[in-house]
Amino acid sequence: MSNCIGKYLIHSGHKIDGELTVQSAKNSFLPILAACLISDGEVVLHKVPNIIDVDYMTKIVENLGVKIVKYNDDLLVDSRHANTYEISSILTKEIRSSIFLLGAVLARFRQVKISYPGGCDIGNRPIDLHIKGLKALNVKVTEKHGYIICDGENMKPNTIHLDFPSVGATENLMMVATKINGITKIVNPAKEPEIVDLQNFLNASGCKISGAGTSVIYIEGVDKTNGCEYTPIPDRIATGTYIIATAMTGGKLLLKNTYPEHIESLISKLKLAGCDVSIKDNEIFTKANGRMKSIQNIDTQPYPGFPTDLQSQVMSLQTISDGVSIICENLFENRFKNAAELNKMGADIVIRDRMAIIKGVNKLYGADVQAHDLRGGAALVLAGLVAEGVTTVSGIHHIYRGYENFENNLTSLGLDIKKIEENTTF
């Protein structure tokens, strides 16, 4: 993890040209790694993404007595000797995904003690929907000294109505319910592809879940589960990030190992804005045709709406598109931090509460900018790839949390980006 200290040095003037195989989905792999605690056998996970959040989650799960071995691109996970339900707070504060352990550990031990999760500084990140759902399953929940302590000895099946289709709450409640005898229903769940992926992994482990991706999920409790082999879905946000990089730099890119339907909301908007995007099986070919037209309105919504995780990247694209664009960020109240950094580069962005108004400019200028979160950091790199002159992006450890080999991938596609020491001056 130490190799993520430093900043990026970016020289513009190059177009993306080449092909890339997309990594496995961070937001699939992390809940699935937690869900291995529910498997009563050895699990082999293929195509492990080489990202910091997986390193953190691996350490957290190993601290529970789970045996994990990395072998090439595979992760061998054996939870049969898991021996504690108390989750170390040192690591849980680092990543939001540690909250998925709440459901997995509760399913395994019927007890769990976990501190509040950490994660990106994109908003308050409450877990009230998780807690409300657990209480509906007759879990006794106490919150004290920054810990959540759950007693699930008398858990009962129930129908849970989520006030908001929260991804994490849906995943936690799915996992808990796998070990509650009877049928639990989750109404108004999140429909993200990563939810379907978690269902498919849990079913491969012997659980009985149906309806993921629709408006009701059914979970029938089981007593025994088994080990399995599983390959998570490709990362739709990484896919979208590279497509937007192509639209911005004016090049062409063939992406392999993709699920095009998972980013239909982005592809349809880019086509309207003048980008060529063609699909063949699990490949996406993108070709830019000069300056893009502005995308008038972008409203981030739960899946299948426009993903909040691509909002920062599409904002970078709008800064150099032709016209005015309005972005509404409806999920996270603090996800416009990039605007100030982009304005340092000559962008014209005005923020009004949840709305960003972006007037396209002819060019951006290189500057020293700061990443504040994972997707915002990647978006600043995209801006640096097209800004006249030299750009440095600090805080790149955010980017390493979710993008595998980011600078090496961009370099292999013909771009000029290097990692240098944080205190290097020019």
* Residue 126 vs 182, nearer CB to ligand EPZ: 126
Scanning residues 85 to 114, which ones bind ligand EPZ (CB under 6 A)?
96-97
Least separation in angstroms between CB 168 and ligand EPZ: 3
Q: Is 120 a catalytic residue?
A: yes
* Residue 14 vs 329, nearer CB to ligand EPZ: 329
Query: Per CB under 6 A, which region of 162-170, 213-221, 321-329, 414-422 contacts ligand EPZ?
Result: 162-170
**Residue closest to ligand EPZ (Cβ):** 168
Is residue 126 close enough to count as binding ligand EPZ by CB under 6 A?
Answer: yes
DSSP single-letter state for residue 114: E
Rounded Cα distance between 192 and 202, Å, is 16
Token digits of residue 221: 């409790």
Strand 252-256 vs strand 17-21: parallel, antiparallel, or unpaired? parallel
* Residue 313 vs 409, nearer CB to ligand EPZ: 313
Among 43, 48, 101, 120, binds ligand EPZ (CB under 6 A): 120
- E-strand ranges in 182-239 read 183-187, 208-210, 216-220, 228-230
Query: Per CB under 6 A, which region of 83-91, 125-133, 134-142, 277-285 contacts ligand EPZ?
Result: 125-133
Least separation in angstroms between CB 332 and ligand EPZ: 6
Among 18, 123, 213, 274, binds ligand EPZ (CB under 6 A): 123
Q: Could you give the maximum distance between any two Cα atoms of the chain, in Å?
A: 65
Among 54, 169, 339, 342, binds ligand EPZ (CB under 6 A): 169
- E-strand ranges in 196-341 read 208-210, 216-220, 228-230, 252-256, 276-280, 283-287, 297-299, 324-328
**What residues contact residue 122 under an 8 Å CB cut-off, 6+ apart?**
332, 334, 335, 337, 373
Give bridge partners of residue 21 from the DSSP assignment: 256
Among 22, 255, 374, 381, binds ligand EPZ (CB under 6 A): 374
Taking a C-beta distance cutoff of 8 angstroms, is the pair 250, 15 a contact?
yes
**What residues contact residue 153 under an 8 Å CB cut-off, 6+ apart?**
110, 111
Rounded Cα distance between 315 and 332, Å, is 15
Among 308, 312, 313, 316, binds ligand EPZ (CB under 6 A): 308
Q: How far is CA 379 from the centre of its chain?
A: 14
Query: Per CB under 6 A, which region of 26-34, 62-70, 321-329, 340-348 contacts ligand EPZ?
Result: 26-34
* Residue 49 vs 157, nearer CB to ligand EPZ: 49
Among 9, 43, 64, 167, binds ligand EPZ (CB under 6 A): 167
Rounded Cα distance between 146 and 90, Å, is 12
Q: Which of 374, 375, 406, 377 is nearest to 56 (CA)?
A: 374
Least separation in angstroms between CB 188 and ligand EPZ: 12
The CA radius of gyration of the chain, in Å to the nearest whole number, is 22
Q: Which of 106, 114, 94, 133 is nearest to 37 (CA)?
A: 106
Query: Per CB under 6 A, which region of 2-10, 164-172, 385-393, 415-423 contacts ligand EPZ?
Result: 164-172
Give bridge partners of residue 278 from the DSSP assignment: 285
- E-strand ranges in 182-227 read 183-187, 208-210, 216-220
Scanning residues 320 to 339, which ones bind ligand EPZ (CB under 6 A)?
331-332
* Residue 45 vs 387, nearer CB to ligand EPZ: 45
Query: Per CB under 6 A, which region of 103-111, 126-134, 290-298, 415-423 contacts ligand EPZ?
Result: 126-134
One-letter amino acid of 2? S
Is residue 12 close enough to count as binding ligand EPZ by CB under 6 A?
Answer: no
Size of the site for ligand EPZ (CB under 6 A): 26
Q: Looking at 36, 120, 150, 228, which residue is catalytic?
A: 120
Q: Give the residue numbers marked as catalytic.
A: 120
Binding site residues, ligand EPZ, CB under 6 A = 26-27, 30, 96-97, 120, 123, 125-130, 164, 166-169, 190, 308-309, 331-332, 374-375, 402
